[in-house]
Structure 1
Amino acid sequence: MDWIIAIVAISTGGWIINNWIRAKYGYDLEDEWGGKSKRSDEKKVKQLKAENRELHDKLDAMQDRMVVLEKIVTDRGYSLADEIEALRDKPARDTGTPLDIETKEKA
């Protein structure tokens, strides 16, 4: 009689551990008759996964943009101060393209 109680206790313990593992990893839970019951938060989980995917895509795009900006700023030929000084040194009469252009493009 004692071993029948032990078998029932072991079976119940195994069932509880099985359901705990299923709940932890998001699988459908098993009821006492062997049927499956769906999780109630399944819709919310799908929404969160979609939002997470969207945020990862935005993060990837921002990282790509940051790489481009870092290349621009760390380029050895790029010196903002020198470019500003070069603009200051230009004569004031050179204000743009004249309106009476007589030369035409050659094909």
Structure 2
Amino acid sequence: MALLIPILALCIPLIAIWTKHQQKVAEINATAAAEKAAQYATDNSELEERVRVLERIVTDKGYDVASQIEALRDARKVEALLDKREKDLS
């Protein structure tokens, strides 16, 4: 029992040192988490800007005209194929 008192007296400073170390580790982790959150927020805003640009392109009248032109080109190809088949069958 008499040995427990000096051992306990030596353990108290060790516990204090370990507690301070754990506090520093927690602060470092919190700083790293805050930096990652800021980086994700920046990446998120860049992606939002890209989506806005794509939405603008899709809703723009020029895109609609381009898609109509492509549809006409496809229709002409189908008509040409049908005409060719009719000639082959004749």
Taking structure 2 as the reference length, the TM-score comes to 0.50
State the TM-score, normalized to the length of structure 1. Answer: 0.43
